[in-house]
């Protein structure tokens, strides 16, 4: 009896401890929080919902018209580096007519750069001859910076911001396929001249014939590598994504598959494009390419590009791997721990109008990297730019197109004119004002109530005190009876109650 009572007491104490831990406030400090997941959400009320937004197509950023490029160029990586933007991509071409499908040339890795993230140039680097010949009779007037080896298929660089990084390894990269028995690593002091870093593959579990990505994760003090992965061994099951970690870029953990919510249906994902979001680095964002296999029906044969689809189908006839009706589009997902992802199963980027001809496998692959660019509208805030490819398998139209999306504008809390509300879990913060990224209609509005941990309005910060906000801003300061200073609430447990009418709220941040 005494033994049973002791167990009961221990159980009660343990349950109480778990409950107490669950009720602990979330300390967000002064970091920016987006509505891309429900980590901070206590409840929704009224007709409030989370809405996925989509990028807007802009100009063609780069065409793959050079002899060493072509219809299979891609896997671009883009990042801002000081006052320039760098782009790295594969140059390659396939022959689909006449059949069978075959390579027209060897793969190379190319470089482009920009001063504004909009207009790109391909500098003559003078490093490698094209075409490659035994007696070096080609020309070095090209933008090729790496040639030879299996890593040319998917060479993926990044700038290492680890404070412990040595200068001659400031730029690092991964690349390789199953033919190289895994992913190898590379280094560069200037981002142009590269050499091997590892003697052999550092990660050997995976499929790798995709755009594998790697970065220094400052929030978690480790390198993270996301690789092409299958849900089962021997390239069986779903095309998926695995993750491996390292603290020294030399020894890597065994890759493990990512996880998704139970209500998310199986999705075939070809690339991953995962990286910390630079405006909120504790949140990882991924933009995988979704692969959809379909039978080659009469309807599928009529989707543009009709001629190219027929040529592609003929070039792979009898392979058993594809039908010619496969299509690809873009997804969006986020994570706060690097492995469990909240995935939106609706497309982030649809292939678009049929006449534009992006309804074929290989199109709509998102490049790796988000970067800020100036808006074309004078005085407007910066936008986020990103690239998608189009014109796959077609030498004359294969290219990268720039798209833009609002800062933090991936997912919003949205409510119609009849209204909706969101109340957060208990939070702690630092800062003197509350900054909001939001947009309303002329008749819409946003008001914020600050509550105590029990959900009661804090005097001076009730909904009745809250000034009605309307407009469109990425940095609007909330106010209560025209006062904006919230410094006296620092260190307290608070809840935020957002009351929204005909508008979108994208993010919030406590700031000085």
State the pLDDT confidence band at 92, using cuts at 50, 70 and 90: very high
Average pLDDT, the chain: 94
CB 167 within 8 A of CB 189: yes
d(CA 266, CA 366): 20
Q: pLDDT tens digits, residue range 237-259?
A: 889 999 999 999 999 999 999 99
Burial call 15-50: b when 16+ CB within 10 Å, e when fewer: eeeeeeeeeeeeebeebbbbbbbebbeeebeeebeb
What angle (nearest 5°) sits at the alpha carbon of residue 452, between those of residues 451 and 455? 70
d(CA 394, CA 98): 14
Two tokens, residue 303: 């989707």
What is the pLDDT, as a whole number, of residue 318?
A: 84
pTM of the model: 0.93
State the pLDDT confidence band at 77, using cuts at 50, 70 and 90: very high
Over 60: is that where the pLDDT of 16 sits?
no
Over 60: is that where the pLDDT of 507 sits?
yes
| Strand-pair category, 289-292 with 144-147 | unpaired
d(CA 267, CA 483): 48
What angle (nearest 5°) sits at the alpha carbon of residue 71, between those of residues 66 and 74? 85
Q: pLDDT tens digits, residue range 345-396?
A: 999 999 999 999 999 999 999 999 999 999 999 999 999 999 999 999 999 9
Over 80: is that where the pLDDT of 12 sits?
no
Q: pLDDT tens digits, residue range 403-418?
A: 999 999 999 999 999 9
What is the pLDDT, as a whole number, of residue 23?
A: 67
DSSP reduced 3-state for 44? strand
- The per-residue DSSP string of 110-154 comes to EEEEESSSSSEE------S-BS--TT--SB--S-EEEESSGGGGS
What is the pLDDT, as a whole number, of residue 370?
A: 98
Q: pLDDT tens digits, residue range 444-479?
A: 999 999 999 999 999 999 999 999 999 999 999 999
Over 80: is that where the pLDDT of 276 sits?
yes
Kindly list the strands in the beta sheet with 399-406, ordered across the sheet, starting from the edge strand earlier in the chain.
56-63, 399-406, 383-390, 371-373
Over 70: is that where the pLDDT of 4 sits?
no
d(CA 22, CA 45): 22
Domains of the chain with CATH codes: 23-53+411-511 (2.60.120.260), 56-71+149-406 (2.115.10)
CB 61 within 8 A of CB 402: yes
Pick the range with the lowest mean pLDDT from 186-190, 393-397, 409-413, 423-427.
393-397
What is the pLDDT, as a whole number, of residue 162?
A: 98
């Amino acid at each position: 009896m005494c033994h049973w009572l002791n167990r009961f007491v221990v159980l009660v104490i343990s349950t109480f401890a778990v409950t107490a831990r669950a009720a602990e406030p979330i300390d967000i400090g002064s970091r920016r929080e987006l509505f891309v997941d429900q980590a901070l959400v206590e409840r929704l009320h009224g007709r409030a919902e989370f809405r996925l937004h989509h990028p807007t197509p802009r100009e063609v950023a780069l065409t793959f018209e050079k002899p060493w490029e072509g219809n299979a160029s891609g896997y671009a990586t883009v990042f801002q580096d000081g006052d320039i933007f760098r782009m790295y991509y594969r140059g390659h071409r396939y022959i689909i007519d006449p059949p069978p499908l075959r390579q027209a040339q060897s793969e190379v890795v190319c470089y482009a750069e920009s001063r504004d993230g909009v207009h790109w140039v391909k500098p003559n680097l003078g490093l490698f001859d094209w075409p490659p010949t035994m007696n070096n009779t080609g020309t070095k007037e090209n933008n090729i910076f790496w040639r030879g080896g299996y890593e040319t298929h998917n060479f993926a660089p990044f700038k290492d911001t680890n404070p412990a990084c040595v200068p001659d390894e400031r730029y690092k990269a991964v690349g390789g396929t199953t033919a190289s028995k895994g992913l190898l690593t590379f280094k560069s002091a200037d981002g142009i001249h590269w050499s091997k870093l590892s003697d052999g593959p550092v990660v050997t579990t995976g499929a790798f014939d995709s755009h594998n990505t790697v970065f220094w994760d400052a929030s978690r003090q480790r390198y993270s590598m996301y690789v092409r992965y299958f849900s089962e061994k021997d390239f069986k099951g779903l095309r998926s994504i695995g993750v491996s970690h390292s603290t020294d870029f030399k020894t890597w953990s065994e890759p493990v598959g990512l996880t998704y919510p139970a209500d998310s249906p199986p999705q075939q994902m070809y690339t991953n494009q995962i990286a910390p979001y630079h405006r909120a680095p504790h949140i990882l964002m991924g933009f995988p390419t979704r692969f959809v296999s379909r039978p080659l029906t009469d309807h599928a044969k009529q989707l543009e590009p009709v001629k190219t689809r027929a040529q592609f189908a003929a070039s792979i006839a009898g392979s058993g791997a594809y039908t010619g009706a496969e299509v690809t589009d873009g997804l969006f997902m986020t994570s706060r721990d690097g492995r469990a992802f909240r995935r939106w199963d609706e497309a982030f980027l649809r292939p678009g109008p049929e006449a534009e001809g992006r309804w074929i496998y290989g199109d709509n692959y998102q490049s790796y990297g988000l970067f800020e660019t100036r808006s074309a509208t004078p005085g407007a805030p910066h936008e986020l730019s990103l690239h998608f490819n189009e014109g796959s398998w077609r030498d004359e139209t294969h290219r990268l197109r720039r798209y833009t999306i609002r800062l933090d504008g991936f997912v919003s809390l949205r409510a119609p004119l009849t209204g909706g509300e969101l109340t957060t879990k208990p939070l702690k913060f630092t800062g003197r004002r509350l900054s909001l990224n939001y947009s309303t209609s002329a008749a819409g509005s946003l008001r914020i109530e600050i509550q105590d941990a029990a959900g009661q309005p804090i005097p001076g910060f009730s909904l009745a005190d809250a000034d009605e906000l309307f407009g469109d801003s990425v940095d609007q300061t909330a106010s209560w009876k025209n006062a904006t200073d919230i410094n006296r609430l620092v260190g307290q447990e608070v809840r935020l109650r957002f009351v929204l009418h005909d508008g979108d709220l994208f993010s919030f941040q406590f700031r000085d």
